[in-house]
Structure 1
Amino acid sequence: MACLLFGLVWALCYSHWQLTWLHSPDLFQRSQLIAGTVERVQHRESGASRLIVSLKSLNGQVLSPRPRVLLSWYGQSGPPAVGDKIQSVSRLQPPHGLLNPGSFNSARWLLGQGITARGYLTGTLAHQAADASSRARLVQHIAAMTTDLPARRWLLALSVGDRSGLTDADWDMLRGLGVSHLFAISGLHIGLVAGLGLLVGRLSGHRLPAATVAGALALGYAWLAGFSVPTQRALLMLLLWLGLFCWGRFWSGRRLLLLTMTLLLAVMPWLALDMGFWLSVLAVAALMVSAGWLGGQSLWRLQLGLSLLLLPLIMLFFGGISWLSLPINMLLIPLFSLLLIPLLLLACVLVLPVPTLAMVVLMLLNGLFEPLMSGLHWLNDSLSPWQTLSARAQGGWLLLLLLSFGLLLPRARWLPALAIYLILLQPDVIEQKKQPRWEVRILDVGQGLSVLVTQGERALLYDTGNRFDSGFNMADGVILPLLTRLGIDELDYLVISHDDRDHSGNRDYLAASLPVKHRRGAWPDGQHCRAGQVEPWGVLTLRMQWPLTPSGHLNNDSCVLHIGDGTLSLLLTGDIEAQAERGLLATGQSVAAQLLLSPHHGSRSSSSAAFNRAVAPDWVVHTAGFANRWGFPSAEVVARFEQQGVPQLITGEHGMVHLVADGQHWRLTLSRRPGPWYQRLNGWLTTGGSSAKSLE
């Protein structure tokens, strides 16, 4: 207990120490002059590269400790290399991520990597290239020798840890088949190299030479891979075990694992936020458990136990399972361990002394990798083994797995009867639970708009958020994970307010990804919006109130949709501005609604006083991205609603806004940005936003 309390105190002190620099005056309000060293470069298939930079100074003031920042590179020339010293002007933001159920938590990921701010730069004021290190020269030789090989991206990923060449299709295949771990140099690879070293070293008949050879080979491979974080974890545990091996002592695997975790968390407590850290730790723990329970003598038993024990974690972390993962890993792990990785390491060793022989080995590997990876792509494309699961399905699988594990306990014969009782009871519980007539979720899609209206499993989606040149899009990042979590596999309506990309960017992609019964608005082949259209939808009525003449190309042509059940109502306004607001009021239609999405994300060109009075909302939501460059919502707009006494929420600060129809009123499910402290980091770094003030 004393060690636990000491660890918590140390983690708090460490966080305060690392985050103090974020209190610099006007750090996030204006551009800053930064100077630092590039630690890592993440090349992208398209769009900007990303640099992880260790800052030496900010506006000429030396920083201690040196913070790490993630910067997007938009320069015309190539980005700086690892080790280069740069001086540049950058616009910074605190760690912040989109907050929606089922979405990737980038705020946690950033702090888990020790990154305390992010930003962008378009060029450098000064650039001092680093002297090429021995590793850099070796990597350049390997990259040059594999330039013309079709399997180059796979060879570089396995040899030097460079996975920048992998395409989106490659990542989909690796996830779908559950083999991503084979191309992330970590415990499997380090352990394999060390095992080869022990076999060679034991020829001497002594422990010390065997441990020395094993440690040297493992260090060499970790060095070649750039000492990535997973590699460091595996290397530390291996070196501890080799030290005990030389000392002639025996420690249990549990004790070794706990000591490794203690040392890593003591050096960097924020690793506790890194999902990869816990996956690797729990994978080792699962391996130990399966070795103890299943005998540990055969590979298939170890793999079976490991897969079953990690299945709940994979479901919770990634929202699905791959039904092909177990048989594919049973085939690939021996192939990689006994053939592909040893050959690749042999080629790396021969690159400088005997390049001709190294090239022969690389060509042999290319001949092996090409048909192998093509076959894996075919399997993934043909069988689609990755199955995303709704929250209810995940709960059912977890119950089944817990029941299976429970049956291994002594005197557990009563568990099947309890499970059957719970399964039979479940429909009654669901039936008795009061279901809301309808719900509205205003999604956190950055600077853009997407609103999901649901009646049970029936859904209407209004706008789709943005799609970026880098490949990231709000459909894959936010909308589809949420629909899957809710168990919704089709849309009754997909309404596109107008053609701006932050509203329509994922229109065609979503239509190709799931069935859409009715397409409304800015569609090439859908029904255009026109004032006066009325459609019943379950207990709700859909009333199109604008535009008078269909177009869909301009802000003022946005579809204005009124949704109501006779008691509560919602007004979706797209990007209309004051001119369209006046035109809408002039038609004489009632625009009154208890819930309003402010027009044009809260721009001062919209939300005129007359329009606000006519709507008379109980709630207003501004769909504005965090720290957006336009300053949405405008201070003028916020002030107008404050004068009316209307509570206001901003998706960029609050995250997804979820309101439930509750009798005569809308009920907000969460009154503040949910989650742990790092989700609200900007709340205590700044003076607080207008949304927080309005809620208070």
Structure 2
Amino acid sequence: MDKRLFFFCFGISTIMIWPWLPGWDWWLPLACLGWLCWRPRPAVACLLFGLVWALCYSHWQLSWLQAPELFQRSQLIAGTVDSVQHREGGASRLIVSLKSLNGQALSPRPRVLLSWYGADEAPAAGDNIQSISRLQPPHGLHNPGSFNSARWLLGQGITARGYLTGTLEHQVATPSHRTRLVRHIEAMTADLPARRWLLALSVGDRSGLDQADWDMLRGLGVSHLFAISGLHIGLVAGLGLLAGRLSGSRLLAAILAGTLALGYAWLAGFSVPTQRALLMLLLWLGLYCRGRFWSGRRLLLLTMTLLLAAMPWLALDLGFWLSVLAVAALLVSAGWLAGRSLWRLQLGLSLLLLPLIMLLFGGISWASLPVNMLLIPLFSLLLIPLLLLACLLLLPVPGLAMLVLLGLNALFEPLMAALHRLNDSLSPWQSLSALAQGGWLLLWLLMLSALLPRSRQVMTLGLYLLLLSLLPPASRPHWEVRILDVGQGLSVLVTQGRRALLYDTGNRFDSGFNMADGVILPLLTRLGIDELDYLVVSHDDRDHSGNRDYLAATLPVQHRRGTWPDGQHCRAGQVETWGDLTLRVLWPVTPSGHRNNDSCVLHIGDGRLSLLLTGDIEALAERGLLASGRPVAAQLLLSPHHGSRSSSTEAFNRAVAPDWVVHTAGFANRWGFPSPEVVARFEQMGVSQLITGEHGMVHLVAEGKRWRLVDAGRPGPWYHRLGAWLNGTKPLE
């Protein structure tokens, strides 16, 4: 049974790596093949059935995206708000289950993520709304080390995104029992300094946590304590089981444990980690009542099978795998490592999850183990039981509940302040480059190999590979250019080994999201770059300069150029030598940086290859630049103003005569960049063109007198190329 469950889950999970989405008609031959394999090879049959179900489910969920002109114009949508996430700056994000599109009923009801920018208060969960929205397919920025939002969206069952500025019709829903209880808890904790922590632990609302809180939780490795999951559900069930056993009835104990766990999961909103923990617990309680015993492995496999069968796209949710693998690591620690005490279990859990944490978050926390050793007992034996007691007393005895909440506030406030001080003073989080991650992974495998038979030979091979990874590469590119995918904006990284120049910094949004934390810093960490030789800001537009001050405060910067209050302004004629490269400022003649035509135009070359960075200059500045007589020829050109029709005049294009042109335009941007006229001009010249919004980060390596493109097509699985799928093509590249 275990083997069949495993292969069914494995078949569904292959959806993570499909290079393209096969046609719906593939299900029949795959199902027939599975039926033929059932008797001789049941495990293979289960794998094929998992593939078939994932394929059918995907086409079922995505079928509505092929409605005519769905993404070409605004749509009239009507639906029910499933959840609301309030963000900094007044913006909110709504997850809406659509009932109809332009008056046509939808089945199944797709879930869409809508950003709310209206002046009025955003709709609440459960409300019915009707509005006009411009939708886009799931799409994410594609850069090494960046968060994969396309995969995350599908993992949440979200098949489109858009924005709202108001509603045509808004029907306020009658508050549910949970909503009323949550509002009651929010009102009672309104004046408590530790309110955000109490809400995170009681109702799963972590919207009150700011960036400093998240940095502390990551730095100390204790984020899991504030994500209601197996630890919390298991603790509640354990208390119920212990109380029920006092009656001497196994059935009563199981009912009480299940009721308390179900109530806590309901209060927390039935998130994916709580669903997994609750389902596994209920299966175990059912067996417990019947006096039967199943191994933890079988319970985990059956839980995974039920969850993935209900929603195969959970396989795309990294949070799902983190919770599943945490349980698996706990089972291994308790069995294989003979971990009977808390410190052994925690040590085994930390070691087994180390590669996953490192690969998902790009680093490790050396303080995670000792801090968890102190906090897990404190949360399990004191804080969570007191918080549950307060929730139980909230309606029948609100005065007593308030006393318990005041006591919790007195405990949480100094505790969290101490954790913040600890994180600030020790800085335990260590971000790792790709090379360092590979070294740590090899070291981890060596530690595990010591427990295997004939470990000496395995360890010898591992040590040899580890030493090879530490050696410098035999040959390194002379210099490289990475045009980052920062949506509608610009950021270019030029490197010589570990020396770096950054031209423009991408956007910074009122919601708090910014391209420095989301794209630039993760890439620099991955490359092992911890300082910038040059930070050049072309002009003041926020999609170019939004993270200027933040990056200067975060990283050491040797030279600041462009629109800086305390830096050197760009002025035509400036020439500097940077390693093997020459930096030439071609424009502007009179610096100001406040207009597109004042953008800093920078020419970078080594005498054989060159790059022209143009900012947002338009036709007027292009004519002035050509009239100045300064050489603008370059094999690689960033199209001025993201490919706007106001730029890239025919005379300028022919003067530059590039082999490659990169249009730094966001996916499905509202301005229609790059302009079809501009694209046509370069096509007539036979120039190779790339768009960051479609290709992702463009990485070019200098090889003699030509540029070599790394990753010719948008890399990654099928969900990175949904646009091509919607257009009727299924690319393999």
TM-score, length of structure 2 as denominator length: 0.93
Instruction: Find the residue that maps to 2:373 and give its secondary structure.
Output: helix
1:97-496 matches, within 5 Å, as: 97-426=140-469, 430-432=472-474, 434-496=475-537
CA distance in 1, matches of 2:473, 2:349: 38
Q: Is the 8 A contact 2:443 2:466 kept in 1?
A: no
* Cα separation, partners in 2 of 1:422 and 1:137, compared to 1, 3 Å: closer
Q: For residue 78 of structure 1, report the CA deviation from its aligned partner.
A: 1.1
Within the alignment, does 1:548 sit opposite 2:553 as a pair?
no
1:607 maps to 648
1:43 maps to 86
- The one-character-per-residue Cα deviations of 1:50-84 (angstroms, maximum 9, x if unpaired) are 00000000000000000000001111121111111
Q: For residue 296 of structure 1, report the CA deviation from its aligned partner.
A: 3.0
Within the alignment, does 1:515 sit opposite 2:575 as a pair?
no
1:66 maps to 109
Instruction: Find the residue that maps to 2:70 and give its secondary structure.
Output: coil
- The one-character-per-residue Cα deviations of 1:379-437 (angstroms, maximum 9, x if unpaired) are 11111111100001111111111101110112312344334433444465x342x2111
Q: Is the 8 A contact 2:622 2:652 kept in 1?
A: yes
2:670 maps to amino acid: R
CA distance in 2, matches of 1:687, 1:498: 40
Within the alignment, does 1:573 sit opposite 2:646 as a pair?
no
* Cα separation, partners in 2 of 1:47 and 1:675, compared to 1, 3 Å: farther
CA distance in 2, matches of 1:166, 1:495: 33
2:51 maps to 8
Q: Is the 8 A contact 1:45 1:164 kept in 2?
A: no
CA distance in 2, matches of 1:140, 1:497: 48
2:11 maps to none
* Cα separation, partners in 2 of 1:38 and 1:596, compared to 1, 3 Å: same
* Cα separation, partners in 2 of 1:652 and 1:431, compared to 1, 3 Å: closer
Greater CA deviation, 75-84 or 417-426?
Answer: 417-426
1:558 maps to 599
* CA RMSD, 1 decimal: 1.5
2:569 maps to 528
2:658 maps to amino acid: P
Within the alignment, does 1:635 sit opposite 2:676 as a pair?
yes
CA distance in 2, matches of 1:316, 1:671: 25
1:455 maps to amino acid: Q
- The one-character-per-residue Cα deviations of 1:31-59 (angstroms, maximum 9, x if unpaired) are 11100001001111324100000000000
* Cα separation, partners in 2 of 1:425 and 1:97, compared to 1, 3 Å: closer
1:53 maps to 96
Q: For residue 132 of structure 1, report the CA deviation from its aligned partner.
A: 1.4
CA distance in 1, matches of 2:511, 2:467: 48
Q: Is the 8 A contact 2:661 2:689 kept in 1?
A: yes
Instruction: Find the residue that maps to 2:88 and give its secondary structure.
Output: coil
Which blocks of at least 5 consecutive residues in structure 1 are unaligned?
Answer: none
Greater CA deviation, 70-79 or 56-65?
Answer: 70-79
Instruction: Find the residue that maps to 1:365 and give its secondary structure.
Output: helix
* Cα separation, partners in 2 of 1:642 and 1:288, compared to 1, 3 Å: same
Instruction: Find the residue that maps to 2:265 and give its secondary structure.
Output: helix
- The one-character-per-residue Cα deviations of 1:344-372 (angstroms, maximum 9, x if unpaired) are 11110111111111111111111101100
CA distance in 2, matches of 1:684, 1:621: 23
Instruction: Find the residue that maps to 1:250 and give its secondary structure.
Output: coil
1:500 maps to 541
Q: For residue 166 of structure 1, report the CA deviation from its aligned partner.
A: 1.1
2:60 maps to 17
2:23 maps to none
Instruction: Find the residue that maps to 2:722 and give its secondary structure.
Output: helix
2:695 maps to 654
CA distance in 1, matches of 2:159, 2:468: 48
Q: For residue 641 of structure 1, report the CA deviation from its aligned partner.
A: 0.6
CA distance in 1, matches of 2:115, 2:515: 19
Instruction: Find the residue that maps to 1:523 and give its secondary structure.
Output: coil
- The one-character-per-residue Cα deviations of 1:223-254 (angstroms, maximum 9, x if unpaired) are 11111121111101111111111122111111
1:120 maps to amino acid: Y
Instruction: Find the residue that maps to 2:667 and give its secondary structure.
Output: coil
* Larger RCO (CA under 8 A, 6+ residues apart): 2
CA distance in 2, matches of 1:116, 1:603: 30
Aligned residues: 690
CA distance in 1, matches of 2:214, 2:594: 36
* Cα separation, partners in 2 of 1:32 and 1:426, compared to 1, 3 Å: closer
1:439 maps to amino acid: E
Greater CA deviation, 350-359 or 222-231?
Answer: 222-231
Q: Is the 8 A contact 1:45 1:165 kept in 2?
A: no
CA distance in 1, matches of 2:177, 2:154: 30
1:673 maps to 714
CA distance in 1, matches of 2:409, 2:662: 55
Instruction: Find the residue that maps to 2:507 and give its secondary structure.
Output: coil
Q: Is the 8 A contact 2:221 2:367 kept in 1?
A: yes
1:564 maps to amino acid: G
> Equivalent of 2:119, from 45, 54, 76?
76
CA distance in 2, matches of 1:321, 1:624: 34
Q: Is the 8 A contact 2:435 2:469 kept in 1?
A: no
1:483 maps to amino acid: L
1:654 maps to amino acid: H
1:547 maps to amino acid: P
Q: For residue 686 of structure 1, report the CA deviation from its aligned partner.
A: 3.4
Q: For residue 663 of structure 1, report the CA deviation from its aligned partner.
A: 2.0
1:34 maps to 77
CA distance in 2, matches of 1:423, 1:477: 30
2:336 maps to amino acid: W
CA distance in 2, matches of 1:545, 1:355: 71
Q: For residue 586 of structure 1, report the CA deviation from its aligned partner.
A: 0.6
* Cα separation, partners in 2 of 1:223 and 1:98, compared to 1, 3 Å: same
Q: Is the 8 A contact 1:108 1:273 kept in 2?
A: yes
CA distance in 2, matches of 1:135, 1:431: 59
CA distance in 2, matches of 1:427, 1:396: 8
1:216 maps to amino acid: T
Q: Is the 8 A contact 1:286 1:305 kept in 2?
A: yes
